[in-house]
Chain A
């Protein structure tokens, strides 16, 4: 899910940074004192989760966890993911500095979208909440794959098939993340319900 240096065209890089700047701005403004520690912990989780890989075909896909991060943080997912991606670029050479904006937008935008779609459903009882949590994990990765395809498509027309490849290689990840989100939300509901939106 990390786009490397030198793949994207100038306008796409600029658009990525613009979206990320706005997202991080809103995220930091909405971030209140009580949620700073939570944001940091989830940023750390995202940072480490990218090392958990599932080999798929010629490529390999890794956990993203943007669904659960979005669900718990809302707009604060933007600064959390941006910081984690920056550190991944520095320490792991995943992605790159010029592509930081695009990569953040690819992973954080679906997180925010999923927050608005699924957060209200979590308060509903039983199966509805569980289904919402599962769908949140699944949809966030799906949307990221679509955005990845879009970013590459606008950079190079040869990349049109990329969206399909990105989605198909991420199908196992989507299912795994659906279960992880389901498990996380179920766990937090029992132990720390005040953490849920």
Chain B
């Protein structure tokens, strides 16, 4: 009889382990990052199911609501940087599900600084065609006569152009990486967590049993006496 009960319990435990992997957990995570002048957010239930049409709210360090919106079918929501401040992004996925993410001020200043350098750069690229033409010429001539110096592109301009290109390709490369990072930052409950919790429960059972056994007139000691 007792054996059957234990088998039943183990079956249940095994079921829990089995299902712990690919299922959705009862927790919603939001992850946000800054790219150029835009903040991207993605909301997911831990386990990978995206939180669709969930409310996203953005607060500044004074807890003032800056903006709000709804996530799309991929659980994503993006918006232009509303303010250079420590921002808190909150997702509410209904029935008590809520998650938050902080974006530090330094992260935003860094991102907007690169944006500024780009803005400085843009008038250069919008220069009248006449000033650009000689550059193009020198480039072509340079390929022919490598010894001719190309004085028209200053090192500063070149740096800006390179920075722009590098930023663009970096952003493209980093995007999936950041998404991956969001999943790592919010790990699902694993075997360790489950076993740890069960250990605590059985430990507590032992403690309660010990306390109750001291309160009760000990049956075993009475047996010993008789």
Contacts and interface: CB of A to CB of B under 8 A. Distances in A.
B25 A94 contact: yes
Contacts of B181: none
B26 A48 contact: no
Interface string B14-50: 0111011001111110000000000000000101010
Contacts, number: 150
A47 B201 contact: yes
Contact of A94 (B19, B23, B26): B26
A83 B204 contact: yes
B96 A52 contact: no
A99 to B, nearest CB: 8
Contact of B201 (A1, A43, A59): A43
Nearest to B215: A33
Given A58-B93, A60-B24, A94-B27, A6 B98 contact: yes
Contacts of A52: 15-16, 19, 23
Contacts of A55: 23-24, 49
A99 B12 CA distance: 27
A4 interface: yes
B94 A191 contact: no
A16 B92 CA distance: 21
Contact of B198 (A47, A93, A165): A47
B53 A58 contact: yes
Interface string B110-151: 000000000000000000000000000000000000000000
User: Chain A CB within 10 Å — which of B26, B90, B198 has the most?
Assistant: B26
Contact of B96 (A58, A92, A152): A152
Interface residues of A, number: 53
Contacts of B16: 48-49, 51-52
A165 B95 contact: yes
B49 A39 contact: no
B25 A59 contact: no
A47 B197 contact: yes
B25 A53 contact: yes
Nearest to A195: B5
A60 B93 CA distance: 11
A33 B8 contact: no
B216 A91 contact: no
A37 B205 contact: yes
Interface stretch (B79-87, B155-163, B171-179, B188-196): B188-196
Contacts of A187: 8
A48 B198 contact: yes
A197 B213 CA distance: 23
B23 A53 contact: yes
Contacts of B96: 1-4, 7, 99, 148, 151-152, 162
B25 A51 contact: yes
Nearest to B207: A36
Nearest to A65: B12
User: Chain A CB within 10 Å — which of B4, B47, B90, B200 has the most?
Assistant: B200
Given A2-B96, A58-B52, 8 more contacts: A40-B205, A41-B9, A44-B13, A58-B54, A83-B200, A92-B197, A95-B26, A192-B1
20 contacts: A6-B90, A32-B212, A33-B216, A36-B209, A37-B209, A43-B204, A44-B198, A45-B9, A51-B19, A51-B189, A52-B15, A53-B25, A58-B53, A59-B45, A60-B49, A84-B201, A91-B189, A92-B27, A162-B95, A191-B5
Interface of A: 1-7, 28, 31-33, 36-37, 39-41, 43-45, 47-53, 55, 58-60, 62, 83-84, 87-88, 90-95, 99, 148, 151-152, 162, 165-166, 169, 187-188, 191-192
